[in-house]
Amino acid sequence: MTDQGDFEHTGIGEGDLLAYLDGDVAPALARHIAHCVLCQRDLVALTALDARFSAALLRADCPSAETLLEYTASLLAPQIARQVDTHLAACADCRAEFALIAAPAALSLAERVMQSGRNLLRAVLLPPPLLATSTLRGAAPVRHHYTAEKYEILLSIVPPLAPGGTFTVEGQLGDAVPGEVRLLRDELLLRSDIIDDLGFFAFDALAPGVYTLQLQLGNSVMQVDALSVGEA
């Protein structure tokens, strides 16, 4: 250690190395630290510890996420629940986590299908054939072609015969599979129909609106979302 600037190593005080890490020391001191083997060794140890402290003390006073869960579900002893109360009042991180855990958790339609242990297959709308229905006007049915894994389904939305009348939705499966079809709106079951031997099913007397269809096929449920009936 010959070229260590104007400083003797013994002149290095508490805080100097951290100041060096922050780029906040006089040039002569910086020169010494940059070239002194002992200082460099110290620095390595200090940065290693600094990193460990930084990770270890991150939210060190916070209750575990599981404690927040048990707090939410009133599973904690009253005394511990009071401690969590106090902590929540002071800690924004925990408040944010608590809000996520406690958020009301109504099950969606899809989740209820999953809950039954069945596969949920989302039907994908295929593009219309080139000679699309755009040239047809008036009371022509609108046809949609959907697919989901091995299943194919053709849906026809038949408009009312007279203005103000009701719609009919007719469906046909590519391969006739026994099963049940349900018609839902706003996640509520409206009606159901059985798929016949030829793969047909139908729902008539429908008001305009956006519907969901669920076809129960074996261990899968094929779901057609956002089926627009009589709405642009």
Partner 1 sequence: MSIADMPHFSLEQVAAGCRAEAERSRSTELGYCFELFRRALEQLDQAAWQAVVAQYQRLILRWLHGVGLSTDDTLAEDVAHEVIERFWRTLAGRCTPLTARFPHVGALLKYMRQCAVTTVLDRRRSERQRERLLEQAQHAYQLDLPVATAGEDDIVERIARSEQLHRVRAWVKAEVGDPLEQLVLRLSYSDDLSPAEIASRYPEHFADAALVRQIKERVLRRARRALLDSGTDAAEPLSD
Binding site for partner 1 (CB under 8 A): 13-19, 21-22, 24, 40, 43-61, 64-66, 68-70, 72-75, 97, 100-103, 105, 107, 110-112, 114-118, 120, 216
| Closer residue to partner 1, CB minimum distance, 19 or 142 | 19
88 binds, among partner 1, Zn ion, none (CB under 5 to 8 A by kind): none
| Closer residue to Zn ion, CB minimum distance, 63 or 171 | 63
In whole angstroms, what is the distance from residue 18 CA to residue 25 CA? 9
- To partner 1, the closest distance from the beta carbon of 12 in angstroms equals 10
56 binds, among partner 1, Zn ion, none (CB under 5 to 8 A by kind): partner 1
In whole angstroms, what is the distance from residue 157 CA to residue 49 CA? 69
- To Zn ion, the closest distance from the beta carbon of 67 in angstroms equals 10
Contact of 229 with 167, CB cutoff 8 Å? yes
Q: Under the phi-then-psi rule, with left for phi > 0, alpha for psi from -120 to 50, and beta for the rest, what region is 97? A: alpha
| Closer residue to partner 1, CB minimum distance, 116 or 228 | 116
Residue 11, classed as helix, strand or coil, is helix
107 binds, among partner 1, Zn ion, none (CB under 5 to 8 A by kind): partner 1
| Closer residue to partner 1, CB minimum distance, 114 or 176 | 114
In whole angstroms, what is the distance from residue 184 CA to residue 206 CA? 11
| Closer residue to partner 1, CB minimum distance, 105 or 232 | 105
Helix/strand number for the chain, H first, E second: 7, 10
- To Zn ion, the closest distance from the beta carbon of 75 in angstroms equals 19
In whole angstroms, what is the distance from residue 101 CA to residue 96 CA? 9
- To Zn ion, the closest distance from the beta carbon of 39 in angstroms equals 3
Query: Which stretches within the chain are classed as H helix?
Result: 16-21, 27-35, 37-56, 65-72, 78-90, 92-102, 109-115
118 binds, among partner 1, Zn ion, none (CB under 5 to 8 A by kind): partner 1
**Which residue has 């849906």 as its token pair?**
155
- To partner 1, the closest distance from the beta carbon of 72 in angstroms equals 6
- Report the interface residues with Zn ion, using CB under 5 A: 9, 36, 38-39, 62, 91, 93-94
| Closer residue to Zn ion, CB minimum distance, 9 or 145 | 9
Contact of 200 with 165, CB cutoff 8 Å? no
